[in-house]
């Protein structure tokens, strides 16, 4: 009766054990279920199972054992592997075995196992690891029969199958995780590639736009044409129909304005003061009092642009070429209705920096052109003055020759007669008067019959000692009014020479920018010619308010042993 019952019990126990094992996940949970099911099937109060992988990682499941027994097993893992597995498969270190039961007391009752252990079951999971299960005596105090051994083997095979399945699923999960990670990496790479491609396209577009702008502006030298061309290009770049550029030249006190797509009735007062007011309002907005040269800044406050600009605000930039040249650029909304992105703002600032460079070059070119015009005018004036001097010199030579002839005639007449008659004297005086009048009428710089100083107010005079105090402090300019020959012989040290005959020429070339408020002390006269008074009068006519004549002239200065040269 017992044998048939056992034959029925074994398949049922096997079915009851295998069913829960195949529904579990996790190596530890499978081993724990195997130990509990086996102990319940055979009525065993103690049992354990341990699983060792190739990296010597150990998992231990136990029921009914003391903590000391668990620590004993853990401390003898190397000896267990060496004793039970290495001899069976020495090449790999871990055996390729299915199930191996040990009932020999000599092999079971060892110090590495709990004392109550009666049966050991060894198994291997292909090349991934190996395991040992140990069980004590039955509660009914029966020995294990051959049929029990077969059931142990069947149950252990189910355990191996579940562990193998779980291991395969774990590998699949790891591979799936790796694949998912790789997919995420590929997606990141694709996103990065797309971002890189877009960034590259944007940079190529920026470089092309910058190149086209440079090509268009490179041949222009006029500020207005540069502004008109640049405005058209940036409007085309950003697809807008309204835009403007304001440029304030504080040095020249002018305002340049260019715009497109704006109705006349919407124009505001954008004169020089209006532009400067708009620029200053922006500087106050950004908290910057003195802007740096060759600097631009994209305007993000569209309310400011809408308040200061010609059009509805879309984007704009503020730029500074130098302290005297400031400007604003404003663009309307795009035709597409899209806003200005960060890339658009970056491109606008780059183009503005390029625009400033061409504006600066145009300003320099215009300045050089203006200087050339002024130099040409000065050259014409100088040439005219030189021609007048040459004409005057020629006339003087003629008069000197005439004088020599008259002198020769007079000397001959004096030699001819010792006594000069009244008639001869009157003839000589009349002839001389005729010559003098002829000279005055023919020469614009002729000698005035009545000294010009008689018709003007007397120039203030300054005492020699007081002039020396002014000389020591260096606050006054000393002017020698005598001809250059006299000046080169001796003059007050540090004095400048403005000869009366060449006053207009020398003053225009050297002293036309002299401060009108600076004090000027003039000296230089002889018995027949008061150069100092006439030069002082000419200086006063040029707007100099503090002109004085040195009393006593150079003679009084030398008598007091004041510095002279050479």
Which CATH number characterizes residue 110's domain?
A: 3.30.450.40
12 and 107 share a domain?
A: yes
Closest CA to 521 of 478, 552, 553, 492: 478
Model pLDDT, residue 126: 66
Task: Inform me whether the pLDDT recorded for 288 exceeds 80.
Answer: no
What single string gives the DSSP state of each residue in 459-526? PPEE-HHHHHHHHHHT-EEEEE-S-HHHHHH-EETT-EE--STTHHHHIIIIITTS-TTSEEEEE---
288 and 393 share a domain?
A: no
190 in any annotated domain: no
75 in any annotated domain: yes
134 in any annotated domain: yes
107 in any annotated domain: yes
Model pLDDT, residue 18: 56
pLDDT in tens, 29-76: 888 988 998 888 888 999 999 888 777 788 898 998 898 988 988 888
Model pLDDT, residue 5: 46
- Edge-to-edge order in the sheet of strand 99-102: 58-63, 47-53, 129-135, 119-125, 99-102
Model pLDDT, residue 8: 47
Between 18-27, 156-165, 234-243, 359-368, the lowest mean confidence (pLDDT) is in: 18-27
139 and 244 share a domain?
A: no
360 in any annotated domain: no
Is the separation of the CB atoms in 318 and 242 below 8 Å? no
Task: Determine the Cα–Cα distance for residues 347 and 344; give it in Å rounded to an integer.
Answer: 5
Between 406-420, 474-488, 510-524, the lowest mean confidence (pLDDT) is in: 406-420
391 and 467 share a domain?
A: no
Model pLDDT, residue 200: 81
Which pLDDT band holds residue 94 (cuts at 50, 70, 90)? very low
Q: Which tops the pLDDT comparison, 135 or 258?
A: 135
Which pLDDT band holds residue 95 (cuts at 50, 70, 90)? very low
Q: Mean pLDDT across the stretch 494-508? A: 89
Which pLDDT band holds residue 159 (cuts at 50, 70, 90)? confident
Residue 123, helix vs strand vs coil: strand
Model pLDDT, residue 519: 93
- Structurally, how many domains does the chain consist of? 4
Model pLDDT, residue 477: 93
93 and 126 share a domain?
A: yes
The count of other CB atoms within 10 Å of the CB of residue 72 is 16
482 and 553 share a domain?
A: yes
Give ∠ CA 132-22-10 in degrees, rounded to 5: 70
322 and 467 share a domain?
A: no
Model pLDDT, residue 3: 47
> Among residues 449, 482, 508, which one ends one of the domains?
449
pLDDT in tens, 254-266: 778 888 877 655 5
Between 68-77, 222-231, 312-321, 523-532, the lowest mean confidence (pLDDT) is in: 312-321
Mean pLDDT over all residues of the chain?
79
Q: Which tops the pLDDT comparison, 413 or 483?
A: 483
Give ∠ CA 31-33-37 in degrees, rounded to 5: 120
Residue 479 sits in a domain of what CATH number?
3.40.250.10
Task: Determine the Cα–Cα distance for residues 561 and 464; give it in Å rounded to an integer.
Answer: 11
15 and 87 share a domain?
A: yes
What interhelical angle do 342-416 and 422-442 show, nearest 10? Answer: 170
Between 79-93, 386-400, 441-455, the lowest mean confidence (pLDDT) is in: 441-455
Token code pair at residue 449: 């019959």
Between 43-57, 103-117, 284-298, the lowest mean confidence (pLDDT) is in: 284-298
Give residue 9's domain range: 2-174
Return the percent helix, strand and coil in the chain, to nearest 5.
55, 15, 30
The count of other CB atoms within 10 Å of the CB of residue 418 is 6
Model pLDDT, residue 210: 80
pLDDT in tens, 323-350: 778 888 888 888 888 888 888 888 888 8
> Among residues 399, 424, 449, which one ends one of the domains?
449
* Alpha helices (runs of H) in 239-341, residue ranges in sequence order: 272-286, 302-308
362 in any annotated domain: no
Token code pair at residue 503: 């006053």
Model pLDDT, residue 11: 62
Model pLDDT, residue 493: 92
441 and 529 share a domain?
A: no
209 in any annotated domain: no
> Among residues 396, 417, 449, which one ends one of the domains?
449
10 and 136 share a domain?
A: yes
Task: Inform me whether the pLDDT recorded for 385 exceeds 60.
Answer: yes
97 in any annotated domain: yes
The count of other CB atoms within 10 Å of the CB of residue 148 is 19
Which pLDDT band holds residue 367 (cuts at 50, 70, 90)? confident
Model pLDDT, residue 547: 93
153 and 228 share a domain?
A: no
Q: For residue 375, count CB atoms less than 10 angstroms from its CB and return exposed for 0-12, middle for 13-18, buried for 19 or more.
A: exposed
Between 7-21, 294-308, 377-391, the lowest mean confidence (pLDDT) is in: 7-21
421 and 553 share a domain?
A: no
Q: Mean pLDDT across the stretch 492-496? A: 93
Which pLDDT band holds residue 1 (cuts at 50, 70, 90)? very low
Q: Which tops the pLDDT comparison, 353 or 440?
A: 353
């Amino acid at each position: 009766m017992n044998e048939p019952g056992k034959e029925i019990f074994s398949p049922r126990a096997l079915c009851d054990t295998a069913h829960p094992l195949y529904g579990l996940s996790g190596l530890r949970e499978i081993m724990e279920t195997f130990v509990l099911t086996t102990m319940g099937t055979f009525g065993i109060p103690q049992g354990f199972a341990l699983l060792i992988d190739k990296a010597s990682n150990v998992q231990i499941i136990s029921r009914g054992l003391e903590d000391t027994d668990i620590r004993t097993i853990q401390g003898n893992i190397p000896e267990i592997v060496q004793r039970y597995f290495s001899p069976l498969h020495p090449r790999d270190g871990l055996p390729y075995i299915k199930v191996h039961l040990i009932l020999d007391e000599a092999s079971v009752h060892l110090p590495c196992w709990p004392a109550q252990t009666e049966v050991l079951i060894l198994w291997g999971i292909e090349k991934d690891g190996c395991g040992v299960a140990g069980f004590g005596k039955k509660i009914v105090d029966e020995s294990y029969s051959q049929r029990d051994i077969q059931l142990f083997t069947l149950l252990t095979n189910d355990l191996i199958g579940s562990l193998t399945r779980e291991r395969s699923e774990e590998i699949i999960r790891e591979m799936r995780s790796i694949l998912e990670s790789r997919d995420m990496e590929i997606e990141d790479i694709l996103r990065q590639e797309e971002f890189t491609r877009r960034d590259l396209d944007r940079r190529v577009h920026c470089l092309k736009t910058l190149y086209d702008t440079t090509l268009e502006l490179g041949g222009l030298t006029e500020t207005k044409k540069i502004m008109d061309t640049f405005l058209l290009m940036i409007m085309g770049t950003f697809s807008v129909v309204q835009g403007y550029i304001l440029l304030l030249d504080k040095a020249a006190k002018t305002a340049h304005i260019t715009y497109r797509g704006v109705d006349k009735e919407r124009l505001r007062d954008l004169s020089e003061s209006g532009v400067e007011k708009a620029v200053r309002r922006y500087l106050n907005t950004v908290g910057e009092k003195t802007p740096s040269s060759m600097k631009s800044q994209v305007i993000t406050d569209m309310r400011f642009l809408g308040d200061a600009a010609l059009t509805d605000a879309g984007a704009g930039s503020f730029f500074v070429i130098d302290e005297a040249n400031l400007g604003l650029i404003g663009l309307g909304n795009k035709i597409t209705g899209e806003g200005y992105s960060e890339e658009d703002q970056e491109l606008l600032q780059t183009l503005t920096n390029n625009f400033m460079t061409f504006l600066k070059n145009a300003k320099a070119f215009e300045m050089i052109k203006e200087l050339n015009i002024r130099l040409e005018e000065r050259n014409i004036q100088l040439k005219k003055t030189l021609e007048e001097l040459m004409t005057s010199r020629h006339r003087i030579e003629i008069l000197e020759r005439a004088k020599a002839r008259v002198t020769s005639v007079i000397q001959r007449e004096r030699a001819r007669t010792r006594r000069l008659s009244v008639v001869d004297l009157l003839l000589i005086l009349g002839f001389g008067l005729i010559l003098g009048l002829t000279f005055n009428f023919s020469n614009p710089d002729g000698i005035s019959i009545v000294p010009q100083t008689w018709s003007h107010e007397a120039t203030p005079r300054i005492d020699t000692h007081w002039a020396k105090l002014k000389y020591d402090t260096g606050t006054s300019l000393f002017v020698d009014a005598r001809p250059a020959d006299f000046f080169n012989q001796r003059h007050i040290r540090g004095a400048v020479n403005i000869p009366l005959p060449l006053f207009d020429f020398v003053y225009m070339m050297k002293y036309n920018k002299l401060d009108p408020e600076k004090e000027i002390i003039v000296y230089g006269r002889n018995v027949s010619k008061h150069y100092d008074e006439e030069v002082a009068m000419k200086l006063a006519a040029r707007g100099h308010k503090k002109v004085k004549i040195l009393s006593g002239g150079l003679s009084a200065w030398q008598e007091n042993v004041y510095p002279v040269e050479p």
